[in-house]
Structure 1
Amino acid sequence: MAINLNYLQRCPSFDAAFGRGYGEEVDWCQKTAAQGGLHVAVPNLFVEHRGGASFGSDEKWRRIAQNNALIARRYPKYDPMVQRFIANDPLVTPRLALALAYLDSLDDLHETPVFIAHTMGGGAENYLKARLEALSPAAAVILRFGGAARCQVEVLTPNGTTTGQTNDLDAVERLMQVLNRRRIIYSCAVGDPDPVELPDFFARVAQDQHLDVLFHDYFPISPSYTLLNRDGTYRGVPPPSSDDSAHCSRRMDGTKVSLEEWRHAWGKLMQQADRVIVFSKDSRALAISAYPETRHRIEVHPHKLTKLVPKVAPPQNDRTVIGVLGNIGPQKGAAVLQAASRLLRDTPNAELVLLGRIDPAFRLSSGTICHGNYDLEDIPFLIRRYGINIWFIPSIWPETFSYTTHESLATGLPVISFDLGAQGEAVTAAPNGHIVPMKGARSDTASLAARVIQTAIALRAQTG
């Protein structure tokens, strides 16, 4: 603590009531503050306090308790003031800068990974967690978009994590300049209020550094990150001239952003990328369709299942029991599942079991079992419990990988999927996979559901 000479002369000593230590500097600061003194932090000054040997452990904690009580009696507003300081955290920026500088000083860290992520969870978040767990040393930065503040900065060090939030992207950019060796890894930024300006920001952060663009979804291609149109259907990669409202965006001031403007903004980032990483061949084809100039920089790296799902013997029953894995929202095929549920009410010896949940906007018939959340290791038990003998992947968007598809296939039971996306790619390649055409066929939900049920019943008749 550096002390102004004027206040040192006014208050030249610590209060002896505090004995040999703990709390005496707080008392001195409160007295000088009452005399008009201002206490400030100097972020660019670093003083190390190495070790502590003034007291034994028992005496230390006894003195802390006694002297804290004395501070509370003398200055009853002090503790609430400290709590407000902690809540407001005015020193978060210098602490983040210090943590970043520490990472940059690590000799065994070739470069610091800077992940661009969102706050929505899901597969992209699971992928990020796995990447972070594999780091050695535990050193990384996460710039997270779509939360309460525009950007949450998380600096992970071997000694802990420092986190701060801001709406000022220029401040984030200045912070990132502390890292002289960094690799920017775009994972997902869905949820940002003005996403068309993000590619330029990412490009500046990645200036003269390495940049990877990952396709966990299709946000770099369209604001509709699932590529679904306004009517909820998939008809391929939309051309830049598309005026479908699902493929348009708006700035924070309300200005409309066309798909052509979107592609121009994100296209510059795609051109700057050292690598464009996709997780299926189908995603590679879609990325090339939108950005053909990236063809030679696209790498296909399929995910690996985080946990092995064992092969399961088909249950011995005379029913067709269609199982669905995962939480099902609109893009995951909730409308198709709803239609199938209703059709199965009047279909003898056939039923539907959802291991997961469905969007509350959709209702399943009373005869459909909705199990709720599950753990992967429970799948063999749940197959036997409900008699599931066929899986159905209801997703209607071209998924970039689809963990649930690979988990279903791993059980060895027949798996039905539509002919699109990574899910269709995986099911087509698997010996226990069966495709129901969506392209070039009637794609209303009732027709799709009816074809799935017909396929499932036929498969059950073949396998017995």
Structure 2
Amino acid sequence: MTAIWELEVIQQRETTVFMTGWLFDTRSRTEELELELVEPGGRVVGRIPLAAGKPRPDVKAVHPRYPSSLHSGFVAVGAWPRRPRSSDQLRIAGQLEDGRAVEVTIASERWQGAFATQGRWHRLLIGLRTLRYYARRALLLVATGRFGSLREKVSRQLADRPQAPLPTPPAWQALLKGTDPEGGDPETHLIVDHRLGGGANQYRQRLVDEHRDRGATVLVLTFHLASLSPMLLVETARKRLRFSLESTSELLDALADQPLASITYNTAVSFSQAESIPALLVALKQQSGARLTVLLHDYFSICPSHFLLDADGTFCNIPDLATCRRCLPRNPHGFTTLYGGDIETWRQAWAPLIGAADTILAFSESSAQLLRRAYGAVLDDRAIQVRPHTVNYLQARRIPWPAQDQFTIGIVGQIGFHKGSEVVRQLADAIKRAGGQERIVVIGTLESHADPTILRQSGPYTHTELPALIEQSGITVMLIPSIWPETFSFVAEEVMQLDLPVACFDLGAPAERIRRYAKGIVLPSREPDSILENLHRLADETASSRDP
């Protein structure tokens, strides 16, 4: 056995599991990993794909001898076909790059306790386990001297746990009335959103701030993965409270006598039993008379694979239901592992929300068209508004054209699988094999293995740092390698505002805008040789247009 690993957090509730940790082999890179539930006798009851290959520089700092330790992190979120039993076995199994199999068994005492009865002591146990996990991460971060990262991680993960169960109805009503400093009944808004970070969360926070600045109370229904339970945030100008829920249905009773000014569906990605959210929101709209807005940050209402990647990792373009029916059970992408039903049932659950929405806000015409493709029969086209995001945080500037002695391809963001990590890895491999002079700079992080002599990464960055980082990197052309039809793409907008040449694939909002951009090109193929040929052509055309 040459695998070194650690299970950091495991939480299970009924049939749902959330797990984080790291695993690497001392002799070969990990290709894929699954979490398996195994009955006595060896029959595998269920498999949950692990999102593996997550960057873990803290692990690399402790195990510097092994290059594979850098991308050793994994996360699992999914549901088993049945509730695990004490006689079952839990193990991590997968394939290594050299063809060998890897298999590690999780000690029963490590995971069976996670099925403790839901209640006060269960929440305390979860809190202690989470604290232990982040204490270990803290020690690793201190060891590498990254105190700023430590402070951010600990404060973010430990400061946003639920503080208490939802109060009884009388106490709850008193609390909501008490949010108005003048003693009146403040306007109340409800937003549904995940807690995974990214553009959707940033949009939600701006919306929350706008409501709070007007003196309103904002309720955010979200999902706390570390405890696998729904959570309700209450935000006002004076206070921020966090309540745990046993189920999202509690909200219907809690708001029975509470007028709602608006209901906004931002996204329910990562929610356990997310298919129950549409019925809840429609019922709340009917109960309160609130205006209902649905935002298209992703395609979760169309498929649990919310980036519309099929089982083979390719954009599906919403095929016929027979094709979807065959794809969904074997699809590891998005949050398909949290849903055990068929695609017809999923669409039937979400159709009432799409049909009841007063406004459906899309951030590109391409995403609106995909929604029409899935729900044309129930969708009132008059409800759809296309309104791209506003990017106004960059200082207006033009990045100087770099010296042409080095051809450097720039990529921006946290590049996971759906953002094109495999495209980037294959591109780096092709440059290495051919002995090419091109180099790749990722301003952000690549969630894949790539030769460091060809590709370097900046690590996390802020939006305001982007122009300076691009200029310092001497980037010749920008590449957006995303393989899903993004609903907007802030990166595309940022790059165009900086007057840089940029290329993308013929998918979603980036292609919609880059096709009209004078220094842009829509790539005809994902093959590395074709990408390189077209990037060089784009650079040549850009250079010639700048010649006097």
* Normalised-by-shorter TM-score class: 0.7 to 0.9
SS at match of 2:453: coil
One-letter amino acid matched to 1:143:
L
For residue 353 of structure 2, what is the aligned residue in structure 1? 269
For residue 200 of structure 2, what is the aligned residue in structure 1? 124
Mapped to 2, the partners of 1:247 and 1:435 lie a distance apart of 33
For residue 104 of structure 2, what is the aligned residue in structure 1? none
Mapped to 1, the partners of 2:516 and 2:294 lie a distance apart of 27
For residue 437 of structure 2, what is the aligned residue in structure 1? 349
One-letter amino acid matched to 2:305:
S
For residue 87 of structure 2, what is the aligned residue in structure 1? none
SS at match of 2:414: coil
Residue pair 2:163, 2:243 contacting (<8 A) in 1 also: no
Distance apart, 1:248 and its partner CA: 8.2
Higher Rg: 1
Superposition map of 1:302-313 within 5 A: 302-309=388-395, 310-313=397-400
Change (3 A) 1:261 1:248: farther
Mapped to 2, the partners of 1:166 and 1:392 lie a distance apart of 43
Distance apart, 1:189 and its partner CA: 0.6
* 1:191 and 2:273 correspond: no
SS at match of 2:203: helix
Distance apart, 1:131 and its partner CA: 1.5
Superposition map of 1:314-353 within 5 A: 314-345=401-432, 346-353=434-441
1:234 equivalent among 315, 318, 324: 315
SS at match of 2:515: helix
SS at match of 1:426: helix
SS at match of 1:257: coil
For residue 325 of structure 2, what is the aligned residue in structure 1? 243
Distance apart, 1:185 and its partner CA: 0.2
* Deviation larger for 163-172 or 274-283: 163-172
* 1:372 and 2:459 correspond: yes
SS at match of 2:244: strand
One-letter amino acid matched to 1:350:
E
Distance apart, 1:130 and its partner CA: 1.5
* Deviation larger for 131-140 or 260-269: 131-140
Distance apart, 1:175 and its partner CA: 1.4
Distance apart, 1:137 and its partner CA: 2.0
Change (3 A) 1:231 1:205: same
* Deviation larger for 176-185 or 251-260: 251-260
SS at match of 2:394: coil
For residue 30 of structure 1, what is the aligned residue in structure 2? none
Residue pair 2:502, 2:519 contacting (<8 A) in 1 also: yes
Mapped to 2, the partners of 1:400 and 1:341 lie a distance apart of 27
Mapped to 2, the partners of 1:91 and 1:280 lie a distance apart of 38
Q: Mind listing any 5+ residue stretches in structure 1 that lack a counterpart?
A: 1-86
> Which whole-Å deviations, capped at 9, do the CAs of 1:289-331 have from their partners, x for residues lacking one?
1111332211111111151253212112322211000010000
Distance apart, 1:173 and its partner CA: 1.5
Mapped to 2, the partners of 1:457 and 1:255 lie a distance apart of 44
Residue pair 1:145, 1:192 contacting (<8 A) in 2 also: yes
Mapped to 2, the partners of 1:91 and 1:125 lie a distance apart of 23
Distance apart, 1:406 and its partner CA: 0.7
Mapped to 1, the partners of 2:331 and 2:184 lie a distance apart of 43
Mapped to 1, the partners of 2:449 and 2:336 lie a distance apart of 31
2:261 equivalent among 171, 182, 185: 182
TM-score by length of 2: 0.63
For residue 222 of structure 1, what is the aligned residue in structure 2? 303
One-letter amino acid matched to 2:246:
N
One-letter amino acid matched to 2:443:
L
TM-score by length of 1: 0.73
For residue 145 of structure 1, what is the aligned residue in structure 2? 223
Mapped to 2, the partners of 1:463 and 1:183 lie a distance apart of 47
SS at match of 1:232: coil
For residue 294 of structure 1, what is the aligned residue in structure 2? 380
Residue pair 1:212, 1:275 contacting (<8 A) in 2 also: yes
Whose strand proportion is higher, 1 or 2?
A: 2
Mapped to 2, the partners of 1:181 and 1:211 lie a distance apart of 10
Residue pair 1:99, 1:162 contacting (<8 A) in 2 also: no
> Which whole-Å deviations, capped at 9, do the CAs of 1:245-296 have from their partners, x for residues lacking one?
4478999999841111111110011111111111001111111111113322
Residue pair 2:361, 2:387 contacting (<8 A) in 1 also: yes
One-letter amino acid matched to 2:173:
A
1:200 equivalent among 262, 275, 279: 279
Residue pair 2:180, 2:215 contacting (<8 A) in 1 also: no
> Which whole-Å deviations, capped at 9, do the CAs of 1:399-434 have from their partners, x for residues lacking one?
011111111111111000001101111111211211
For residue 501 of structure 2, what is the aligned residue in structure 1? 414
Residue pair 2:166, 2:243 contacting (<8 A) in 1 also: no
Q: Mind listing any 5+ residue stretches in structure 2 that lack a counterpart?
A: 1-161, 544-548
Mapped to 2, the partners of 1:254 and 1:155 lie a distance apart of 27
Whose helix proportion is higher, 1 or 2?
A: 1
For residue 244 of structure 2, what is the aligned residue in structure 1? 165
Mapped to 2, the partners of 1:376 and 1:173 lie a distance apart of 39
Give RMSD over aligned pairs: 2.9
Change (3 A) 1:162 1:450: same
Residue pair 2:506, 2:524 contacting (<8 A) in 1 also: yes
Residue pair 2:177, 2:185 contacting (<8 A) in 1 also: no
Mapped to 2, the partners of 1:315 and 1:259 lie a distance apart of 50
Change (3 A) 1:106 1:232: farther
SS at match of 2:351: helix
Change (3 A) 1:105 1:173: farther
Distance apart, 1:139 and its partner CA: 2.6
* 1:281 and 2:370 correspond: no
2:535 equivalent among 442, 445, 456: 456
Number of corresponding residues: 370
* Deviation larger for 96-105 or 373-382: 96-105
Mapped to 1, the partners of 2:269 and 2:343 lie a distance apart of 16
SS at match of 1:120: coil
Distance apart, 1:168 and its partner CA: 2.5
Mapped to 2, the partners of 1:253 and 1:375 lie a distance apart of 32
Superposition map of 1:93-112 within 5 A: 93=168, 96-102=172-178, 111-112=187-188
Change (3 A) 1:462 1:149: closer
